[in-house]
């Protein structure tokens, strides 16, 4: 009897699921052709002649050319090293006759930068040759219909195909993509980071009933979840569900919401009857009180409920959306810090760009997972996803891992006065598409945009107002590249972010004169003058090329001015000094180092490659620099004992300091088996500097170890240096020549 009941229940659930929406991956076997082209797409000229390459999505045509070393400038002064312009994608797909009466949508998660979509219901014959698709001008037809246009390379967008597709036949999508920078679309240039052209995030077909939860509400889920009165005893969870009816008749429906525990048991549920009109998109609003909620507590306990919202008609499920629910509340208190569920919680922040060596922005979920694993290893609690909306998968993983997220739009670097409409559009897309991610605590409005001041202030204020209207429960932040808190364009958001690189672009690494600020002098001053402001140190960092090694780098001001040599040791000391100040400055209620990973900068590339080397992990994710272990020792709960300068193998100084990071207490340092006891503390309690250590001629074995831990295990590190006076260099000079070996 029990088996029969379970089988009946399974069949009943299967029947209900079978009529709910279908989400179909649409990523394989796209035909691709890169321009430039001379003819307009609707004239079917050169676009359809010759070979098309078969590609899989995610795909970018700039995977390598935006990362190459040779810069080529055209006769008109335009950078021609990487391709920007038009490219085309096309894909055939069969539309079942059974979809007649359904609604069919195409969803692109990210296409960079400007997109036009066309649909052809009379597909010309195609011949496969060596993995490419041959089309001739004669086989192309004029049956393409314009579907829609989207501007902006980082947010998702949806177009409905219902009235255009031919049911029971083959259909073909044609997608025109252009990644040229324009004054109307943010970002307005390729300066701070590259706009990798292509369909570089996943695509899917969505098939729904004629009565459904809205699919094309700025590509959101159509379900918006809010939280009020959150405590360990209660939480009021609000719902706004946008529904549509294309049947032409009033439809009696039920909106059913169920909140599930991790183990699948029901925590709470509500059924709301509703008479759905045939005109307009309608909103169903209701609230569910959750008793004794299991709170989402960041990395310590990232507990997620599952929320299933269903539309039922005649007791059958005709649509369904599944969303995460992390019950929590955030609070930023000036000069005190960030509080998660009334508990002070550190914002150990890192910034992240989405690209990587050899792939550009066309990343797999495994790539995202690797980045997150590295960020977790170092002990970061928060990520600034700079400077644009990033992958839906990445936000979802941050939810499940407990990482606190700063999400922002690509309004960066420069103002053209033509970008207002697009900036507002992208702000709305960012918020609606990511509304239900519990990890997101703040919306970024702009980064380092200034003149004309009046226009910038007005647009920032509009972005703030839009964000607060769309989502009153989260903070907004704007970011200035000046170290002046009360700059003319600042303080038009809830929080003011400050980017500054003392000793890199300007100022000094350590105070050497009264002319220039260093980070400590600045932090003391703003702590006195702006203690009532919510301030975040939103960027700080220094470039470090792992091939560039110096035994002693000195205290250079404006190291940026020497792009031929970016020694790792300077960046290491930069982070030691900056974090030492941040850790003892409560006015800085959060901080974000720039950057976790090296990334491409195709216009402003310095040194040899068009790359920003401020990442504390290399572009290929293979090498974690000394600064990575500095933060791991300071932030992580994982035992760390680490000796720095491991890549400066050839040493020219017989007497030298040795730096060890240890979060396990005082390390025992030995050089060639002999213990070194003289040390001083550095900028934090994990920073041990052993002074006046004498090296022997030839190879030196250096070990650091901490014993006597509660678990009985020793933690240690070992490196080898080669000392010879012939390697002695002046302060700030490379420790090796190009033909000498440096272990990386």
User: For the chain, give me the number of helices (H) and strands (E)?
Assistant: 8, 44
Pairing label, strands 588-593, 535-539: parallel
How many of the other CB atoms lie within 10 Å of CB of 337?
Answer: 16
d(CA 509, CA 517) in angstroms, rounded, equals 9
d(CA 26, CA 106) in angstroms, rounded, equals 9
Residue 568 is a catalytic residue: no
Residue 382 Cα distances to 304, 352, 376, 500, 657, angstroms: 18, 11, 10, 19, 33
Between CA 240 and CA 533, with CA 438 as vertex, the angle to 5 degrees is 105
d(CA 68, CA 311) in angstroms, rounded, equals 51
| Alpha-helical segments (H) within 255-391 | 365-377
- DSSP tag of 696: P
Task: Note whether 223 and 213 are within 8 A (CB).
Answer: yes
Residue 331 host element (H or E): strand 330-333
Task: Note whether 335 and 38 are within 8 A (CB).
Answer: no
What DSSP line would sit under 231-266, residue for residue?
SSSEEEEEEEEEEEE-SSS-EEEEEEEEEE-TTS-E
How many of the other CB atoms lie within 10 Å of CB of 184?
Answer: 14
Catalytic residue among 448, 520, 543, 568: 448
Q: Could you tell me if residue 101 is left (phi over 0), alpha (psi between -120 and 50 degrees) or otherwise beta?
A: left
Where are the extended beta strands (E) located within 519-622?
A: 535-539, 588-593, 599-600, 611-612
d(CA 489, CA 607) in angstroms, rounded, equals 32
Positions annotated as catalytic residues are 448
């Amino acid at each position: 009897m029990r088996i029969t009941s379970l089988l009946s229940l399974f069949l009943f659930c299967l029947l209900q699921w079978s009529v709910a929406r279908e989400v179909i991956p649409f990523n394989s076997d796209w035909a691709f052709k890169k321009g430039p082209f001379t003819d307009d797409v609707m004239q079917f000229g050169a676009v359809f002649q010759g070979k098309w390459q078969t590609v899989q999505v995610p795909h970018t045509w700039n995977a390598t050319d935006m990362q190459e070393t040779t810069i080529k400038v055209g006769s008109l002064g335009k950078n021609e090293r990487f391709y920007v312009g038009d490219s085309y994608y096309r894909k055939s797909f069969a539309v079942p006759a059974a979809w007649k009466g359904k609604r069919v949508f195409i969803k692109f998660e990210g296409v960079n930068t400007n997109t036009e979509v066309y649909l052809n219901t009379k597909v010309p014959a195609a011949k496969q040759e060596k993995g490419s698709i041959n089309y001739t001008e004669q086989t192309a037809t004029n049956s393409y219909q314009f579907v829609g246009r989207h501007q902006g390379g980082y947010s998702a967008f949806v177009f409905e195909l219902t009235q255009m597709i031919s049911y029971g036949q083959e259909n073909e999508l044609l997608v025109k993509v252009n990644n040229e920078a324009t004054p109307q679309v943010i970002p307005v240039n390729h300066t701070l980071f590259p706009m990798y052209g292509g369909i570089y995030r996943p695509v899917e077909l969505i098939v729904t009933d004629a009565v459904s939860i809205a699919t094309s509400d700025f590509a959101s889920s159509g379900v918006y979840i809010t939280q009020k009165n959150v405590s360990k005893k209660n939480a009021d969870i609000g719902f706004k569900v946008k529904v549509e009816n294309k049947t032409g008749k009033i439809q009696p429906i039920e909106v059913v919401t169920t909140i599930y525990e991790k183990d699948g048991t029901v925590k709470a549920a509500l059924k709301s009857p509703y008479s759905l009109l045939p005109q307009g998109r309608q909103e169903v609003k209701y609230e569910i009180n959750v008793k004794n909620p299991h709170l989402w507590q960041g990395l310590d306990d990232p507990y997620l409920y599952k929320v299933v919202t269903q539309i039922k008609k005649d007791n059958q499920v005709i649509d369904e959306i599944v969303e995460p629910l992390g019950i929590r509340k955030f609070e930023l208190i000036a000069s005190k810090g960030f509080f998660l569920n009334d508990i002070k919680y550190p914002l150990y922040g890192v910034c992240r760009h989405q690209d990587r060596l050899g792939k550009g922005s066309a990343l797999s979920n495994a790539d995202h997972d690797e980045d997150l694993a590295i960020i977790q290893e170092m002990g970061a609690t928060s990520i600034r996803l700079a400077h644009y909306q990033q992958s839906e998968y990445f936000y979802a993983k941050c939810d499940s891992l407990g990482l606190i997220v700063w999400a922002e739009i690509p309004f960066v670097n420069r103002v053209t006065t033509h970008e207002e409409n697009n900036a507002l559009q992208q702000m709305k897309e960012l918020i609606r598409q990511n509304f239900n991610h519990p990890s997101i605590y703040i919306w970024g409005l702009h980064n380092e945009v200034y003149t004309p001041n009046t226009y910038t202030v007005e647009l920032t204020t509009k972005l703030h107002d839009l964000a607060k209207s769309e989502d009153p429960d989260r903070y907004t932040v704007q970011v200035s590249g000046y170290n002046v808190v009360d700059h003319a364009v600042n303080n038009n958001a809830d929080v003011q972010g400050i980017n500054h690189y003392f000793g890199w672009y300007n100022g000094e690494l350590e105070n050497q004169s009264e002319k220039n600020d260093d980070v400590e002098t600045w932090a003391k001053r703003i702590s006195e003058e702006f203690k009532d402001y919510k301030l975040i140190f939103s960027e700080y960092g220094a470039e470090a090329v792992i091939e560039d090694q110096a035994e002693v780098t000195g205290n250079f001001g404006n190291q940026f001015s020497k792009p031929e040599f970016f020694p790792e040791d300077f960046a290491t000391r930069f982070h030691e000094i900056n974090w030492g100040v941040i850790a003892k400055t409560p006015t800085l209620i959060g901080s974000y180092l720039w950057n976790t990973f090296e990334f491409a900068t195709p216009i402003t590339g310095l040194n040899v490659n068009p790359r920003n080397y401020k990442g504390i992990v290399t572009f290929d994710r293979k090498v974690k620099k000394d600064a990575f272990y500095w933060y791991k020792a300071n932030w992580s709960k994982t035992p760390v004992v680490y000796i720095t300068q491991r890549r400066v193998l050839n040493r020219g100084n017989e007497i030298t300091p040795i730096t060890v990071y240890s979060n396990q207490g005082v390390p025992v340092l030995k050089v060639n088996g002999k213990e070194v006891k003289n040390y001083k503390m550095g900028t934090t309690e994990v920073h041990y500097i052993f002074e006046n250590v004498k090296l022997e001629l030839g190879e030196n074995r250096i070990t650091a170890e901490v014993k006597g831990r509660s678990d009985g295990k020793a933690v240690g590190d070992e490196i080898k240096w080669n000392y010879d006076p012939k390697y002695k260099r002046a302060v700030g000079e490379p420790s090796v020549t190009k033909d000498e070996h440096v272990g990386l």
